[in-house]
Amino acid sequence: MLENARFFHQFAALLNAGIPVRQGLGMAGRGCSANLQRVLKEASLNVEAGQDLVSALPTRSPYFDQWTIALIRAAEYSGALAETFERLAIAAETRHRRQKLYKAAIVSTITIILASLALLVALVTRSNAFLFQPAFLLMAAIAIAVLFLKGRLLAVAGANGQALMAKVPLLKGIAQARSLLYFAELELPLRCGVPLLQALELLRLRVPDLNLRQSLTIASRQIQTGQTLSQSLVGRLPPLALQMIRTGEETGNLDEVLGKLAAYYESDLERQLKQLQAVLRPLGVVAAGGLVLLIGMQTITSILKALPG
């Protein structure tokens, strides 16, 4: 994700400096992986052969998903490539920061679950021998593997993960903020000159939240009948979000308002995740500390019993 952001920043700077697209593709990507540099070199050769930028980029590459390709296509048509790549870079950096917060919450949660289960088993069996059993070691290995997902567990969970979060009181606000952040990404295609209905369709294909997808589908149908975006989303988005969207429609600055909406919910999500961390970390420390204390006491007891006399 940060690698994408680095390339996007570099390419935007080169375009702003007046460097042609073909030459910019060859110069950008410094400090990135060899795979990305290879992809950019191939794209540069394709542009030199007469292809436009979107056609030159590999659609199956992990660096350019359907959403990114659609935005680049619109930006190339409207002449806003440099601005679009800069915004793509900022969006990638923002998602990376968000994933780090997700990862921290997941680490604390898994620590609490493992330590609590181990503590419970140790209390029931009055033995810590289970810690060296294959089943427990396998469970610990799976937990460690999850941690190496680097906070992407929620994204992989997709709609199911979002629905589960929305049902947990402690996570409900996080789920709502996360959903609104996806909706606020509508700003990008609108800034690229994509018509509203087409932008909603692009966004619908991108979001993992089934409820939001359904809302976007209904909104598209109602907009075709003459309603505004804010009218079509009444009852489907929080009042604050609807008011901001309505203001953007009235002033003709919907894309700018969506940017402010994203900034608001980004701050709100960060605040809620940090509050969740403030709850989870002490619980994790207590659970792990209790397990260590119990194991220590059982070990000392075993040693004392083994002493002669």
Task: Quote the pLDDT of residue 149.
Answer: 53
pLDDT at position 28 over 80: yes
Helix, strand, or coil (residue 180): helix
Are the beta carbons of 63 and 33 closer than 8 angstroms?
no
Are the beta carbons of 96 and 1 closer than 8 angstroms?
yes
Task: Quote the pLDDT of residue 300.
Answer: 77
Are the beta carbons of 259 and 183 closer than 8 angstroms?
no
pLDDT digits 0-9 by tens, 183-223: 999 998 888 888 899 999 999 988 888 888 999 999 999 99
**134 confidence band (pLDDT: 50, 70, 90):** low
Closest by Cα among 252, 200, 256, 251 to 224: 200
Locate the domains of the chain by residue range: 2-64, 94-309
Topology (CATH) of 94-309: Receptor-associated Protein (1.20.81)
Are the beta carbons of 229 and 196 closer than 8 angstroms?
yes
Query: Structure tokens of 266?
Result: 């980004």
pLDDT digits 0-9 by tens, 147-181: 555 444 444 444 455 555 655 666 778 888 888 99
pLDDT at position 281 over 70: yes
Mean pLDDT comparison of 74-78, 90-94, 230-234, 275-279, highest-scoring range: 230-234
Query: Structure tokens of 118?
Result: 């181990």
Query: Structure tokens of 151?
Result: 């906070």
Helix, strand, or coil (residue 233): coil
Are the beta carbons of 98 and 271 closer than 8 angstroms?
no
Closest by Cα among 76, 100, 105 to 88: 76
pLDDT at position 93 over 60: yes
Are the beta carbons of 65 and 91 closer than 8 angstroms?
no
Mean pLDDT comparison of 7-21, 62-76, 121-135, highest-scoring range: 7-21
pTM: 0.74
pLDDT > 90: percent of the chain: 19
Closest by Cα among 175, 208, 201 to 186: 201
pLDDT digits 0-9 by tens, 46-76: 888 888 888 888 767 777 888 888 888 888 8
Calculate mean pLDDT across residues 260-264.
Answer: 92
Mean pLDDT of all residues belonging to the chain: 80
Task: Quote the pLDDT of residue 150.
Answer: 45
- Looking up tokens 């923002």 gives 94
What are the two backbone dihedrals, phi and then psi, of residue 131, each rounded to the nearest 5 degrees? Answer: -60, -20
Task: Quote the pLDDT of residue 144.
Answer: 59
